[in-house]
Amino acid sequence: MMLKRSLIYALLALFALYFALPLAFMLLNSLKSSAELRDGAFLAWPRAPELSAWRAAWDALGGSFVNSLLLAVPVVTLSSLLAALNGFILCKFRFRGSELVFIGLLVALFLPIKVYLLPLAISLAKLGLGKSLGVLIAIHVIYSLPLALFFRNHYLGFPDELLRAARIDGAGFWALFLRIVLPLSKPVFVVVVILQFTTIWNEYLFGLVFTEADGRPITAALAQLGATGEGGVRDYNVEMAAALLAALPTLAVYLLAGKHFTRGLVAGAVKG
């Protein structure tokens, strides 16, 4: 099944351009000065690469970059540990209705955020819970409950004999979970943590609705940066740097753990 090699390479290279150019182009323009932009050679190489746009982007978005970190790290930690626990129970302790719980989680994975956004906003307002990072963290952890499915599927491959042997040796549930199950869960944790970090970092709607000015995660701040451009020539060098800044952490994860990243996305891309 060897097609013509040169033709294949040419086609693939052409598509590589389509996929690679936007980011390359962002990088180029983020390294230009505002003066150079006004001269306006958009596709040109920067004359004297400089970081002023990056500094401006950090001034505008640095705070929300930190917000996103303060959001993503606890959410990823809490939600994946909780999911491991729930997934383990769901998999190895079948009870009446456990299939129903499974289907409930599966459907929940598909539900559009907009279906519960209004009641969520109404109840938080009624409870007087302000828009804060803590609330946002809790919301994200709750709506990450279907993550348990990943662990459940992973644990399906666990030999019951292993668990039974440990029980006979006197291990209670927690000993079983903490000493045997968790250490054997590393591969699925890698996938889930990457998927979850990417999802939470890139999430926009919750971040927009449940935060205010200083508490914005980076996606919401970036969207507003674009929306509030002043008349005349907009500083697209700053916007390019800002967009790259927002993209850096997930791109880094992607480059460092590409294989797991793809697996996670394939498994979890229905979220959102």
Partner 1 sequence: MTTTTSALRRYLDRPELLLLPSLAIGLLFFYGFMLWTGWLSMTRSSLLPSNEFVGLLQYQRLFLDERWLHALGNLLRFAGLFVAIPLLLGLALAILLDQKLRAEGALRLIYLHPMALSLIVTGTVWRWLLDPELGLAQGVRQLGFASFRLDWLADEEMALYTLVIAAVWQITGFVMAVFLAGLRAVDDAVLQAARLDGASGFTLYRRIVLPTLGPSLFSALLVLLPAAIKSFDLVVALTDGGPGQSSELPALYMFQMAFERSRLGLGAASSMVMLMMVLAIAIPYAYARGRKGRGHDA
Window 42-81: residues binding partner 1 (CB under 8 A): 42-44
From candidates 75, 76, 193, 222, binder to partner 1 by CB under 8 A: 222
Q: Which is nearer to partner 1, 120 or 180 (CB)?
A: 120
Provide the minimum distance between the beta carbon of 50 and partner 1 in the complex, in angstroms, as a whole number. 19
CA distance 203 to 199: 6
Question: Contact letters (x/-) for partner 1, 85-124, by CB under 8 A?
Answer: xx--xx--x-x--xx-xxxxxxxxxxxxxxxxxxxx-x--
The burial class, CB within 10 Å (0-12 / 13-18 / 19+), for 160 is exposed
CA distance 143 to 80: 12
From candidates 128, 172, 183, 231, binder to partner 1 by CB under 8 A: 172
Which residue reads 């970036």 in tokens? 222
Site residues for partner 1, window 126-165 (CB under 8 A)? 142-143, 145-146, 148-150, 152-153, 156
Amino acid at 184: L
Q: Which is nearer to partner 1, 113 or 129 (CB)?
A: 113
Tokens for 34? 């505002």
Binding to partner 1 by residue 11, rule CB under 8 A? yes
In contact, 176 and 245? CB cutoff 8 Å: no
Q: Which is nearer to partner 1, 80 or 219 (CB)?
A: 219
Q: Residue 205 phi/psi, 5° resolution?
A: -65, -50
